[in-house]
Amino acid sequence: MSDFGPANPSLVKRSMVEAVQRAIQAIRRARFAFESESKGFKDSGAEDFVTNADRDAQMRMVKVLAEDFPTFGLIGEEDNLFRMGTHPDDLWFAIDPLDGTSAFRRRQSTGFGPMIALMRGETVIAAFVGDAMTQEIFGYKPGSDRVWRSAPDIPHQRLEPWHLPKLAGQYVLIRDNPWAYSLRGQALCTRSLHGVAPLFAGMETANGSIGLSFARLWKGEVGAHLLRPGKQTPWDLLPVLGISLRLGFRFLRVGRGLTPYTPRVAKETYRTDDELLVVHERYLDELTAWYDANVP
């Protein structure tokens, strides 16, 4: 018997992927006819909403996971879902049934889907991120060093960082107004600083799901992802953290120099005061050399 009870890593993956697929089905069915209500305010000050699609997707995910792994803990975004587990290894799931609710409510053609991470204490041992519209799923199973991209109409594809040989000339992804970043952050992507050209060719913007923003980085569409300080929730952070680290991406604090940063894993929500740049480890030497020479 494995750490997961009668299941093995492949069966764990099967259950997690099934949970994501069921959530995708629920989201797709509701995308043109749904009800929403306010649940407070986001970190940005904008009003936050929950829809019946969020709740239906979470119910379907919980049903699969609770039946297959009754001793595992469960933490979910909606309705303060927090179920203590009884597994001796502190195994627990963090689930976001519909990441990118704002994009979903705008009836965008992309930018929303479910996410899930399986934790052993403070370690992400499996994670999956789904795109409700393309039905792609990105993730890895317990014990695997490989991350896969799959969809109903394409064969499984292993995700490997295949970016251009140099970071210079690629694009950096941001999720906020560029002028809301620090001057050092702006120097990386938006304008010259003291007459020095930025490292990146330009910037691209994203909204909606944080998981699908990171998927653009994992696929090599952009060379880096610049993040502002803000609230960290386990259901948003842990799936993207697990996949990013598994692929060799590193988190760097933007300040007087770029310093390594390890996001804190916690079952509760917390705030960070750091502006972060996420980039693949193969680019660290090039990036830090440019930054140290050009950014005070």
Looking up residue 92, the CATH number of its domain turns out to be 3.30.540.10
Range of the domain at 17: 9-159
Residues 114 and 211 in one domain: no
Dig out the tokens for 188 from the structure: 């990386």
Provide the Cα torsion 225, 226, 231, 235; round to 10°.
Answer: 0
pLDDT of residue 1: 43
* Position 2 in a domain: no
Q: Which of 159, 194, 222 is the last residue of a domain?
A: 159
Residues 21 and 155 in one domain: yes
* Position 164 in a domain: no
* Three-class secondary structure of residue 15 per DSSP: helix
Residues 58 and 105 in one domain: yes
Residues 149 and 222 in one domain: no
pLDDT of residue 60: 97
Residues 120 and 242 in one domain: no
Radius of gyration of the chain measured on its C-alpha atoms: 19
pLDDT of residue 296: 82
The CATH number of residue 227's host domain is: 3.40.190.80
Residues of the chain with pLDDT under 70: 1-2, 5-6, 39, 42-45, 162-164, 190-195
* Position 54 in a domain: yes
Query: Global pTM?
Result: 0.94
Residue 260 exposed, middle or buried by CB count within 10 Å (0-12, 13-18, 19+): exposed
Structural domain count of the chain: 2
Q: Which of 159, 193, 211 is the last residue of a domain?
A: 159
